[in-house]
Homo-oligomer: A and B are copies of this chain.
Amino acid sequence: MFHPFGKLYQLTTFGESHGAALGGIITGCPANQLLDLEEIQYELSRRKPGQSSIVTQRKEADEVEFLSGIFEGKTTGTPIGFIIRNQNQKSQDYSHNVDAFRPSHADFTYYKKYGIRDYRGGGRSSARETANWVVGGAVAKQMLPQISIQAYVSSVGEIFLEKPYQALDLMKTEENIVRCPDENTAQQMIDYIKQVRKEGDTVGGTVTCVIKNAPVGWGEPVFDKLHARLGQAMLSINAVKGFEYGSGFCGSKMRGSEHNDLFNPDGTTQTNLSGGVQGGISNGMDIYFRVAFKPVATLMQTQLTINQKGEKVEMQGKGRHDPCVVPRAVPIVEALSAMVLLDFKLIHQAFQ
């Protein structure tokens, strides 16, 4: 079963890593708005494989073709259909997987759930799907011109960017290939990823996201809280193991007298351990959160595993995979955030 992402701004998607194409349908995009298609393609290029030496070298142009919902450069209010053809399917790279379940991949669970799986690759569980999300998010971003959504890599393995986001110039994120806005830390991260890759290994990391200028009042009580929907969105990204916003896990160690954000007379707060959300509703302060990614499961090392008959088989590391996903995850985190925010904006408008 599939449930569209979002309630009013909705993204419904399809596609597998080795199928003919990915694609999606965006519904609930406001009408009569100019849409900059190059900007969308730019966001896709931030996510696409082969963009630098520390990501997978799979070759995909990731060109999006829009099929509906746009007329004379503007949105018409009707569904925006799009597809992204898969170019470099290179099935031969994956032939060793026909029968074997890759450890810590979804091969086993998909096979058990559906009784069939596309053994040429991750199929529907592949992170290629996230290209669709970047399209949906890039459209949403253009509908939120006043809001800035900026994600960056805040750790790779044990290398942490210790500075809080307020101390960073987030415009520098795109200046290096690991997407860490602190030059020195970025260089350490890049060197580390290269070393890990050389060893045929992979490594995890975290992405932090900061949203500025969201007005007071977005988010819905109880079961559609802004942070809960952001959390669900982030936990939908491949390899994500954790989500925290505001004070996060650290906040659980604190006392109320330290943690409370006292008000200024204008309704802003003196601190922002809340992370810009109170009771699930934005309070006008910066919204920020952090997302934890496990190391990529596909190694360039030999691993022992089992096949569909339960026999032990040796699996040779092959193909072109990311040694660390966080650099490419940055635009994905932003895209999902944009979609969640636009959705809540529309919901909020409905009741005004």
Chain A residues with a Cβ under 8 A of chain B: 1-5, 7-8, 10, 12-16, 19-25, 27-28, 30-32, 65-69, 71, 74-81, 83, 101, 103-106, 108-110, 112-118, 123-125, 129, 155, 157-158, 196, 201-206, 216-217, 219-225, 227-229, 231-233, 235-236, 238, 241-249, 251-267, 269, 273-275, 277-283, 292-299, 301, 303-306, 310-312, 346-352
- Whether A248 lies near B196 (C-beta < 8 A) is no
Q: Which residues of B contact A238 (CB under 8 A)?
A: 279
- Whether B106 lies near A281 (C-beta < 8 A) is yes
18 A-B contact pairs sorted by A residue (CB < 8 Å): A1-B220, A14-B25, A22-B68, A23-B25, A24-B25, A31-B114, A31-B116, A32-B116, A76-B116, A106-B221, A129-B222, A155-B253, A203-B254, A206-B252, A228-B231, A228-B235, A254-B294, A262-B305
Alpha-carbon gap, A248 to B155, bound state (A): 14
Alpha-carbon gap, A346 to B346, bound state (A): 10
Alpha-carbon gap, A299 to B259, bound state (A): 11
Q: Which residues of B contact A71 (CB under 8 A)?
A: 116-118, 123
Residue of chain B at shortest CB distance from A10: B2
- Whether A299 lies near B101 (C-beta < 8 A) is no
- Whether B32 lies near A79 (C-beta < 8 A) is no
- Whether A114 lies near B77 (C-beta < 8 A) is yes
Known contacts A232-B228, A263-B101, A348-B113; A157 and B256 CB within 8 A of each other:
no
Told that A31-B115, A241-B252 touch, could you supply 4 new A-B pairs with CB distance under 8 A?
A2-B27, A15-B81, A77-B114, A203-B255
- Whether A255 lies near B80 (C-beta < 8 A) is no
Alpha-carbon gap, A82 to B121, bound state (A): 21
Q: How far is the CB of A247 from chain B (nearest CB, A)?
A: 6
Q: How far is the CB of A154 from chain B (nearest CB, A)?
A: 10
Known contacts A19-B67, A71-B118, A279-B125; A351 and B77 CB within 8 A of each other:
yes
- Whether A278 lies near B109 (C-beta < 8 A) is yes
Residue of chain B at shortest CB distance from A218: B113
**Highest count of chain B CB atoms <10 Å: which of A15, A104, A228, A280:** A104
Residue of chain B at shortest CB distance from A27: B2
Q: How far is the CB of A84 from chain B (nearest CB, A)?
A: 10
Residue of chain B at shortest CB distance from A344: B1
